[in-house]
Amino acid sequence: MILGLYNYWVVVVLMMIGFYIVIAQGNLIKKIVGLNIFQTSVFIFYISMAKVDDGTAPILADGISLYSNPLPHVLILTAIVVGIATTAVGLALAVRIKGAYGSIEEGEIQARDNQEC
């Protein structure tokens, strides 16, 4: 039971770790790292689901008739690109925030905003 669904357990554990970091961490960079872990778990999920028992890589070859499903692999390539773009935008924002506020700690930024009001 546990061994058979090993991949899925990894997915759930990674997902929760990532999600927890996004919520609990106050540092903007760490939040983005958490977001990355969260997204990675979804990538693993898609790839695990594509696996067909005893199937090989989807390349035509003699004597092989059972292939893994290549479609989720392709989907996840797209999702990885999206993830990278999100990380890039997030980090760029963190740089700009550091420039404007002089800090990348959530608490300090909020304190400075409250002072202004």
Closer to another protein by CB, 2 or 63: give it: 2
Q: Measured from the CB of residue 109, what is the shortest distance to another protein in angstroms?
A: 6
Kindly give, in sequence order, each residue whose CB lies less than 8 Å from that of residue 23, ignoring residues fewer than 6 positions away.
Answer: none
Q: Measured from the CB of residue 53, what is the shortest distance to another protein in angstroms?
A: 15
Closer to another protein by CB, 57 or 74: give it: 74
Q: How many CB atoms lie within 10 A of CB 73?
A: 15
The residues that bridge with 67 in the sheet, in sequence order, are 56
Which residues here bind another protein, judged by CB under 8 A? 19, 22, 28, 31, 35, 38-39, 42, 45-46, 49, 72, 75, 78-79, 82, 85-86, 89-90, 93-94, 96-97, 100-101, 109, 113
Going from the C-alpha of 94 to that of each of 17, 25, 72, 90, 97, the distances in angstroms are: 22, 14, 32, 6, 5
Contact 92, 104 (CB under 8 A): no
Closer to another protein by CB, 10 or 94: give it: 94
Q: Measured from the CB of residue 54, what is the shortest distance to another protein in angstroms?
A: 18
Q: Measured from the CB of residue 42, what is the shortest distance to another protein in angstroms?
A: 6
Closer to another protein by CB, 64 or 84: give it: 84
Spatial separation of the C-alpha atoms in residues 2 and 13, rounded to whole Å? 13
Sign for the pseudo-dihedral over CA of 88, 91, 95, 97: positive
